[in-house]
Structure 1
Amino acid sequence: MKKKKVLMVHNFYQIGGGEHTVFKNEVDLLRQHGHEVIEYTRNNNELKQNKLKLVLLPFITIWSWKTYNDIRGIIKENHIDVVHCHNTFPLISPSVYYAARSMKVPVIQTIHNFRLLCPNGSFFCDGKICEICNKTGSFRSALQNNCYRNSKIQTLVLVAMLKFHRWIGTYQKISYIFLTKFNREKFSKLIDVNSEQVFIKPNFVKESNCFVNAVEKKTFVYAGRLEINKGILSLIEMWKTLPEDFVLHIFGSGTMEEHIKKEIKNNKNISFFGFRPQKEVFEDYRNAVAVIIPSECYETFGMGIPECFSMKLPVICTDIGNPGEMVKESKGGLVYPIGNISKFQVVVKEMIEMRQVYSENAYQYYLNNLTDEKNYKELVEIYDKSRNIK
């Protein structure tokens, strides 16, 4: 069977993240299996270099004629079979969907966050989970709270884009890949989540040779952004209630960095390493009992848990959203309610006692669900089933 030619589309943010990694991983995966892959990418750094683009951004975000014409030209010249979008905000815009449809080529959007439902993309506001915009169908709350980058103007631009494309029915005209069932159900008010053009496919990581060692010390690791919604401050407060031989290593950077340094200044069992290359973090994983994901928002999926599971490293996380669902489904770790210190203490101690069991469960779940070969088969099946929606 002829292998499909794929146009992969992605708008890079100024600060990298999991979406960028997934985009590159899938491009490489398809090429390794003999597919011709054309990349159409834009980068938000363009806005720093061109003031005119910055002025026109409110209009470009809603509709980009450059994108529309570029995509049509690429499809025609390269005989593209399927257009696969990862991120279109803000420079590419939803005009990519219409360009593909005008050329009678199926277009699929992978949903990496909740931005089509929530302007800040995370269902998190004022230190807690917030789904007001999704439940009411209105973005009034987002405008009142300046939810996108704490800017009224930027939030207004994003809301205008979302409202316009809802009004003309854009989001009912494309196919979707959701990373989890949890994510898919959140979109039930925007699209028909039971449509034959709605698919579920997780992210993947290649199998690691960096398997964890037999653990002798009670060392745990947090590796991620240092933001309030990631639950890092709550983790530190709970960790202070554990005996001193329970050690926590913190890797990462973010707005809470200086605050965290002050909080742990006099704690001998908490060490802060700041941002480090992935290789160094993974080396620290080798001697860890588990990774802790204390997130107080839903998360969309991320790469953290698949990476841990591929190394036979179990996870402790809060019992909400995607991390909680995956850890419970896989039995590759333990969960605790947000802010519940006594339960947190119990799961940390249980993890030490039962680590081998959770480690094997985590790795088996990885082999069954999160490998590159498994992901390739699922991705090709999605491409084969994708059709233009009338």
Structure 2
Amino acid sequence: MRILKLHTHYQQPGGEDGVFGAEVALLRDKGHTVVPLTFHNKQLEDVPLLWRAAVTLWNREAYARVREAIRLHRPDTLHVHNTFPLASPAVIHVAKAERVPVVMTLHNYRLLCVNALFFRRGRVCEDCLGRIPWRGVLHGCYRDSRPASAVVAAMLSLHRALGTWNMVDRFIALTEFARQKFIEGGFPPEKISVKPNFVHPDPGPGEGRGGYALFVGRLSPEKGLGTLLMAWERLGGKVPLRIVGDGPLAPEVQEAQKQIPGVEWLGRKAPEEVYALMGEAAFLVFPSEWYETFGRVAIEAFAKGTPVLAAHIGAVGEVTEDGRTGLHFRPGDPEDLAAKVEWLLAHPNELARMRKEARAEYEAKYTAEQNYAQLMAIYHEVLSKRRYDGKRHGGA
């Protein structure tokens, strides 16, 4: 199979960029011809605001570049991972014009929400779900800027009106929770498949003998850092907490390690260092307070055999099975989080059982082999439907 893979690069470690690269490598390992087509948002840093707004709505250069790639490589399908903002949804139109089916992975909620998070001022916000996103402009949801938010809202409204999303043959949601949100937002259920991310290569299980809890992620409000730190203040040093990551709340975390017993901020770490920390951690804490579309850190912990203490919200609560691969706690509730930590500490046999279950969950759902089978099933369904529709219309 010949696949044209398109992504707009954020130049951030991991995240969408990491998933894109992992899928390209996996498909090539399986003998497929994969042509990556990457757009770099860094190109927009020093350009006038009006030009930036124009390409977000419709990038003519991106349209021409994708058309050239399609005509040169004749792909069986175009798999879009992200168009925002540089590539623009114009790339979907060129695939339609060239009669190439489109698969699109929904890595975030950008097509439903101006800031792509459903999170505003410290709480979940669904004000724009299924509606024209004028409230996102009013609140300045994108980069705390009403003009910038107006550009995003205009892009969403324009392409709804043009029927751009109807041109996509199949969407891929990362969890059933995310799929349901897109259905609530008006997307047709039959066009949305669920396929999670995966961890490859297999890092192998750890021993879990470190005696500490671990947080890995961006240090930002929606990740639940405030709840995490308040919970550890209540625990009073009963178990060390190691925090890996960086972000806008770094000063608060740096101060917390001076004030709260057991808290240690390690900053950013290379992937192999993160895996080593995960493997020795007693458990991972995932306190997000927004609708994560997936939660890759959780399945990385599972791959290491480490249970996850997860906020029961969005995809995080779906990925972690309460009582089997970890425990749930109420999002934004430090008392409940502290209580669940104390329960784990008081039940070492249950914690050991959860380690085995976490590793089994990874092996059952999140390996490269499992993911490849699911992805190919989606591609084949899309191509079969396209051939069937072509024959039907050809014979009419």
Superposed pair shares fold, TM > 0.5: yes
Aligned counterparts, 1:227-376, within 5 A: 227-328=220-321, 331-352=324-345, 353=347, 354-376=350-372
Deviations 1:272-316 (A, max 9, x none): 111122222222223211110111111111321111111111100
Secondary structure, aligned partner of 2:105: strand
Task: Sort the Cα spacing of 1:47 and 1:143 in 2 relative to 1 into closer, same or farther, 3 A.
Answer: same
How much does 1:117 deviate? 0.6
Letter in 2 for 1:62: L
Among candidates 109, 122, 137, match of residue 127 of structure 1: 122
Secondary structure, aligned partner of 1:45: helix
Residue 188 (structure 1) aligns with? 183
| Separation in 1, partners of 2:279, 2:198 | 20
Tell me if structure 1 keeps the 8 A contact 2:279–2:305: no
Quick check: 1:81 aligned with 2:76? yes
| Separation in 2, partners of 1:216, 1:203 | 27
Quick check: 1:69 aligned with 2:67? no
| Separation in 1, partners of 2:14, 2:271 | 13
Aligned counterparts, 1:28-67, within 5 A: 28-48=25-45, 51=47, 55-67=50-62
Tell me if structure 1 keeps the 8 A contact 2:9–2:41: yes
| Separation in 2, partners of 1:28, 1:118 | 31
Secondary structure, aligned partner of 2:235: coil
How much does 1:357 deviate? 1.4
Tell me if structure 2 keeps the 8 A contact 1:210–1:282: no
Residue 138 (structure 1) aligns with? 132
Secondary structure, aligned partner of 2:128: helix
How much does 1:351 deviate? 2.5
Deviations 1:70-92 (A, max 9, x none): 11221111121100000001111
Task: Sort the Cα spacing of 1:18 and 1:172 in 2 relative to 1 into closer, same or farther, 3 A.
Answer: same
Quick check: 1:378 aligned with 2:355? no
| Separation in 1, partners of 2:209, 2:96 | 54
| Separation in 2, partners of 1:138, 1:65 | 25
Tell me if structure 2 keeps the 8 A contact 1:61–1:90: yes
Letter in 2 for 1:9: L
Tell me if structure 2 keeps the 8 A contact 1:178–1:184: yes
How much does 1:69 deviate? 1.6
Deviations 1:6-63 (A, max 9, x none): 0000001143441001000000000000001101111111123x526x5412111111
| Separation in 1, partners of 2:158, 2:259 | 52
Residue 200 (structure 1) aligns with? 194
Deviates more, 1:78-87 or 1:299-308: 299-308
Secondary structure, aligned partner of 1:199: strand
Number of aligned residue pairs: 382
- The TM-score normalised by the length of structure 1 is 0.93
Letter in 2 for 1:356: A
Among candidates 147, 150, 153, match of residue 159 of structure 1: 153
Letter in 2 for 1:77: L
Tell me if structure 2 keeps the 8 A contact 1:330–1:365: no
Task: Sort the Cα spacing of 1:192 and 1:157 in 2 relative to 1 into closer, same or farther, 3 A.
Answer: closer
Whose RCO is larger (CA < 8 A, sep 6+)? 1
What 5-or-longer segments of structure 2 have no aligned partner? 391-396
Among candidates 2, 16, 19, match of residue 19 of structure 1: 16
| Separation in 2, partners of 1:331, 1:28 | 32
**What is the RMSD of the two structures over their aligned residues, measured on CA atoms?**
1.8
How much does 1:259 deviate? 1.8
Tell me if structure 2 keeps the 8 A contact 1:250–1:270: yes
Secondary structure, aligned partner of 1:268: coil
Residue 225 (structure 1) aligns with? 218
The percent of aligned pairs where both chains have the same amino acid is 33
Deviates more, 1:244-253 or 1:277-286: 277-286
Secondary structure, aligned partner of 1:176: strand
Tell me if structure 2 keeps the 8 A contact 1:233–1:260: no
What 5-or-longer segments of structure 1 have no aligned partner? none
Tell me if structure 2 keeps the 8 A contact 1:244–1:269: yes
| Separation in 2, partners of 1:376, 1:56 | 39
Task: Sort the Cα spacing of 1:294 and 1:375 in 2 relative to 1 into closer, same or farther, 3 A.
Answer: same
Tell me if structure 2 keeps the 8 A contact 1:171–1:190: no
Secondary structure, aligned partner of 2:291: coil
Tell me if structure 2 keeps the 8 A contact 1:110–1:177: yes
Quick check: 1:5 aligned with 2:2? yes
| Separation in 2, partners of 1:330, 1:28 | 35
Residue 114 (structure 1) aligns with? 109
| Separation in 1, partners of 2:142, 2:290 | 16
Secondary structure, aligned partner of 2:115: coil
Letter in 1 for 2:206: V
